[in-house]
Amino acid sequence: MMGAGNVTETDFFRGGGTLPGLCKVVGTVTLVAGAETINLGANDTNVSGSASLRRFIDWGFTNQTAARAPTVTITRFDPTQDGDILVLAGTGTDVFNFWIEGYDSGS
């Protein structure tokens, strides 16, 4: 983790019908120092299956605290987990809802 915030994964959805398959993880991020790293399957709270989302296609963030928009960058790639990570930069202690979609490694 980058900051002292909290990343909570709440749901994992496995899609189907395509090869490779697609999946989606949703959750919340609480910023403390203005930035936080999201590394699926290695966050403060993880949901079963989330670590199988290794290659991100798209993501979205909604600020629960204020109308301020975050800055989100993808950092390729975490060799420890063999997958993408996102770095979220915002203001103060803002709380964000997030979703991330990507390829399902089947883990």
pLDDT band at 78 (very low <50, low <70, confident <90, very high): confident
Question: Would you list the domain boundaries of the chain?
Answer: 6-97
Per residue in 3-61, pLDDT tens? Answer: 567 999 999 998 876 667 899 999 999 887 777 888 898 888 999 999 889 889 999 98
Say what the alpha-carbon torsion angle 44, 5, 72, 85 is, to the nearest 10 degrees.
-30
Contact (Cβ atoms closer than 8 angstroms) between residue 82 and residue 54: yes
71-78 and 83-89 strand pairing: antiparallel
Position 1 scores a pLDDT of 41
